[in-house]
Amino acid sequence: MPTTVVWNAACRHHYGGAGHPERPQRFEAVLEALRAPDLAKVIDWIEAKPSGRAAIERVHPADYVSMLETLAAKGGGALDPDTFLGPRSWESVLASAGVALTAVEQGIRTGTAFGITRPPGHHALASRAMGFCFLNNVVLAARQAQQLGKPRVLIVDWDVHHGNGTQALVERDPSIRFVSMHQYPWYPGTGAEDERGVGNVFNIPRPGGLPREVYAHDLIAGVDAALKGWQPDMLLISAGFDSLAGDPLGEFTLEPDDITNWTAAFRERMGQRPVVAVLEGGYRLDLLAAGVVALVRALS
Ligand SMILES: [Zn+2]
């Protein structure tokens, strides 16, 4: 079965300033890798519309969205020491959110989907942009899933950084469970094991430099803990590829094969229920491309 890859060309436009690691070339590298002729048979491409306000305001307060829109209309500016809205970034932010929403719709329709969301989202809080993120794509996706009749949603985040925004947005909501493995202590500083939300948060903080088998095993163990006595209707993956060995922003030691194995293991646990991944980090272009290809192959 092919998997659906959801994209929007405007995700290229966001520009965070010279030398910023979250750069337009990331988007191009992912597209180029997925357009390889040998992948044509496993991918159905779908172009998403940008998100409208209503879907965004399920997660983010209207005055925060208006603040971003106003800043964008003035040509952009800094929101955080490492998070900048460039002249055309708002187009990318809305497109990225739209990609996440459409990926959920497609995943429910066909079983699996991957959304090329850029900018990423898992650090974005309800009313605060940070860590290269403006809107929380994966939580927008979770609310969309619930709107479409999938009340219980499991979010698994394998980006090397803790998805602090995702945790903050779901930690009082038992309909969503959140599993995150991340380097710790590391940016953004959150994600300790005793941060449990209402019993729905499963953090797996780990130091950098461990043998890859340890990380590979521990994320699956975390997912199994979240699945104990609980059946999600849908799985969303915050797929960051900065957890691969050699990424400049992380010190984990994973290989693309681990992405393949994780995806297969999670699909096995979900059976016929939809599995949808959205892109988070990943800052060495060749690793990002290899990780995305491994994920998409394992979703197909
Ligand atoms: Zn990251």
Residues whose CB falls within 8 Å of the CB of residue 213, separated by 6 or more in sequence, listed in order: none
Please tell me what DSSP assigns to residue 234.
E
Is the distance from CB of 41 to CB of 297 less than 8 angstroms?
Answer: no
Largest CA distance in the chain: 50
Q: 66-91 pLDDT, tens per residue?
A: 999 999 999 999 999 999 999 999 99
Rounded Cα distance between 14 and 81, Å, is 16
Query: 149: how many CB neighbours lie within 10 A of its CB?
Result: 9
Q: What is the pTM of this model?
A: 0.99
Give the distance (Å) from ligand 1 centre to CA of residue 140. 18
The beta strands (E) that lie in 119-262 are given as: 153-157, 176-183, 201-206, 234-239
Give the distance (Å) from ligand 1 centre to CA of residue 41. 30
Q: What letter represents residue 121's amino acid?
A: G
Average pLDDT of the chain, as a whole number: 98
Is the distance from CB of 158 to CB of 137 less than 8 angstroms?
Answer: no
Give the distance (Å) from ligand 1 centre to CA of residue 281. 4
Rounded Cα distance between 79 and 206, Å, is 29
Q: 11-51 pLDDT, tens per residue?
A: 999 999 999 999 999 999 999 999 999 999 999 999 999 99
Predicted confidence at residue 210, as pLDDT, reads 98
- Separation in Å, CA 88 to CA 81, 92, 254: 19, 7, 34
Residue 123 known to be catalytic: yes
Residues whose CB falls within 8 Å of the CB of residue 214, separated by 6 or more in sequence, listed in order: 206
> Can you count the helices (H) and strands (E) in the chain?
9, 10
> Residue 107 burial by CB count (10 A; 0-12/13-18/19+): exposed, middle or buried?
buried
Tell me which residues have their CB within 5 A of the ion that is ligand 1. Answer: 159, 161, 240, 242, 281
Rounded Cα distance between 32 and 35, Å, is 5
Query: 224: how many CB neighbours lie within 10 A of its CB?
Result: 13
Give the distance (Å) from ligand 1 centre to CA of residue 299. 21
Give the distance (Å) from ligand 1 centre to CA of residue 188. 10
Predicted confidence at residue 50, as pLDDT, reads 98
Predicted confidence at residue 222, as pLDDT, reads 98
Q: Which two tokens stand for residue 247?
A: 């990424």
Give 6's strand partners.
46, 115
Is the distance from CB of 34 to CB of 293 less than 8 angstroms?
Answer: yes
Active-site hit among 14, 123, 161, 162: 123
The tens place of each residue's pLDDT in the chain, 300 residues long, gives: 999 999 999 999 999 999 999 999 999 999 999 999 999 999 999 999 999 999 999 999 999 999 999 999 999 999 999 999 999 999 999 999 999 999 999 999 999 999 999 999 999 999 999 999 999 999 999 999 999 999 999 999 999 999 999 999 999 999 999 999 999 999 999 999 999 999 999 999 999 999 999 999 999 999 999 999 999 999 999 999 999 999 999 999 999 999 999 999 999 999 999 999 999 999 999 999 999 999 999 999
Q: What letter represents residue 228's amino acid?
A: K
